């Protein structure tokens, strides 16, 4: 099968990808600077782990020494508000760091590099559901940095013959997501509900999102490694739900009815997002296996377990 290097492999999504790749028979190595990722996420896995930051130019030689057959590039600055607060840090990690990975991939003649992109590249959509052919109109530095790296991958394919796949994720959720560092709304709600702290909705709560369970994302990556040619697909559930509806489902799953407060909408937030996953279904032979109610139950169970493990 070959060796796969997962950048950011100790993180929320990356650690699930590492697990699924092992199940598919790949040898796995991980690079992570552990700024948001956790050794606990991957401690049980038979993998090689290399502490390193992708913004450090020495990561290029490190990747060459690992000599992976494939690279799944997950390491990133993932916060939209964070990208607005510190536009240079967002660029440093997401653009410069990705260029280090691309350069190393060219040097080792990688058979495929998968890039974790985002629905944020689309901005406020002109039509729903959004297909990969929808114009890119990012509304945040984060979306812009992801779009920029996509273009660098296309250039690397053109000038250096680097085989790549771009996977544009919708809103990924599930166990191991950090309610603080990676800031997904499901993780934030789960954390507050388990701590019996009233949840906060930014805006009116009528904004909609397409939520995809993390294990489904990991499976999509594993299947994408075997696809020939360069491609760009959406990895999504193909279904949308409002933030108010989401919170209601989570409160019901937890058997709670905490009072909800509302705050001003955040800069850079998109009003409605729904991604078509037809391309991924056809090209990868993949489709989501975990629906939102089941995924929420698994996420709430994980959040409760984490609360019990914390010192009182």
Predicted pLDDT at 307? 64
Predicted pLDDT at 234? 98
| Given the residues 142, 164, 169, 173, the one annotated as active site | 142
**Residue-by-residue DSSP string for 256-300:** --PPPEEEPPPTT--SB--B--HHHHHHH-----S-HHHHHHHHH
Contact at 8 Å (CB) between 250 and 190?
Answer: yes
pLDDT exceeds 70 at position 308: no
pLDDT exceeds 90 at position 275: yes
- Integer Cα distance of 56 and 60 in angstroms: 8
Contact at 8 Å (CB) between 17 and 6?
Answer: yes
Q: pLDDT tens across 284-304, in order?
A: 999 999 999 999 999 999 998
pLDDT exceeds 90 at position 182: no
- Integer Cα distance of 258 and 251 in angstroms: 8
- Integer Cα distance of 71 and 7 in angstroms: 8
pLDDT exceeds 60 at position 178: yes
Contact at 8 Å (CB) between 221 and 72?
Answer: yes
> pTM of the entire structure?
0.96
Which residues 6+ apart lie within 8 Å of 110 measured at CB? 68, 69, 70, 71, 162, 163
- Integer Cα distance of 108 and 243 in angstroms: 44
Residue at token pair 């990561």: 59
Other C-beta atoms lying within 10 Å of the C-beta of residue 294: 12
Opening angle at CA 139, ends 136 and 144, nearest 5: 60
Work out the percent of the chain whose per-residue pLDDT is above 90. Answer: 93
Q: Return the closest-CA partner of residue 97 out of 115, 118, 120.
A: 115
- Integer Cα distance of 65 and 88 in angstroms: 29
Q: pLDDT tens across 76-97, in order?
A: 999 999 999 999 999 999 999 9
Contact at 8 Å (CB) between 185 and 202?
Answer: no
Contact at 8 Å (CB) between 110 and 163?
Answer: yes
Confidence at 268, pLDDT banded by 50, 70, 90: confident
Which residues 6+ apart lie within 8 Å of 8 measured at CB? 14, 31, 32, 37, 73, 74, 75, 76
- Integer Cα distance of 185 and 82 in angstroms: 15
Strand partners, 130: 275
Cis ω for the linkage preceding 129 (within 30 of 0) = yes
> What mean pLDDT is predicted for residues 242-255?
96
Domains of the chain, start order: 3-172+214-236 (3.40.50.720), 173-208+240-280+290-309 (3.90.25.10)
Q: pLDDT tens across 97-139, in order?
A: 999 999 999 999 999 999 999 999 999 999 999 999 999 999 9
**Torsions phi, psi for 200 (to 5 deg):** -120, 130
Contact at 8 Å (CB) between 196 and 255?
Answer: no
| Annotation says 169 is catalytic | no
């Amino acid at each position: 099968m070959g060796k796969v290097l997962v950048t950011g492999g100790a993180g929320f999504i990356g650690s699930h990808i590492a697990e699924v790749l092992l199940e598919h028979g790949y040898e796995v190595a991980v690079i992570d600077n552990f700024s948001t990722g956790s050794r606990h996420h991957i401690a049980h896995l038979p993998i090689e782990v290399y502490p390193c930051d992708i913004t450090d130019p020495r990561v290029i030689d490190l990747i060459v020494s690992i000599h992976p057959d494939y690279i799944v590039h997950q390491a990133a600055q993932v916060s939209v508000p964070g990208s607005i607060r510190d536009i240079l840090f967002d660029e440093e990690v997401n653009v410069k760091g990705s260029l280090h990975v691309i350069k190393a991939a060219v040097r080792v003649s990688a058979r495929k590099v998968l890039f974790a992109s985002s629905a944020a590249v689309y901005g406020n959509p002109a039509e729903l559901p959004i297909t990969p052919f929808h114009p890119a109109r990012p509304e945040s530095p984060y979306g812009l940095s992801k779009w920029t790296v996509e273009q660098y991958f296309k250039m690397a394919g053109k000038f250096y013959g680097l085989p790549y796949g771009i996977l544009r994720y919708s809103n990924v959720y599930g166990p191991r997501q950090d309610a603080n560092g990676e800031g997904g709304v499901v993780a934030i709600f789960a954390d507050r509900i388990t701590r019996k702290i009233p949840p906060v909705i930014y805006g009116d709560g009528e904004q909609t999102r397409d939520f995809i369970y993390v294990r489904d994302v990991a499976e999509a990556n594993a299947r994408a490694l075997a696809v020939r040619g360069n491609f760009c697909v959406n990895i999504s559930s193909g279904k949308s739900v409002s933030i108010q509806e989401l919170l209601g489902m989570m409160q019901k799953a937890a058997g709670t009815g905490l009072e909800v407060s509302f705050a001003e909408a955040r800069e850079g937030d998109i009003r409605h997002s729904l991604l078509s996953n037809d391309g991924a279904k056809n090209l990868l032979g993949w489709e989501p296996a975990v629906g939102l109610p089941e995924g929420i139950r698994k996420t709430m169970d994980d959040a409760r377990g984490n609360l019990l493990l914390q010192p009182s």
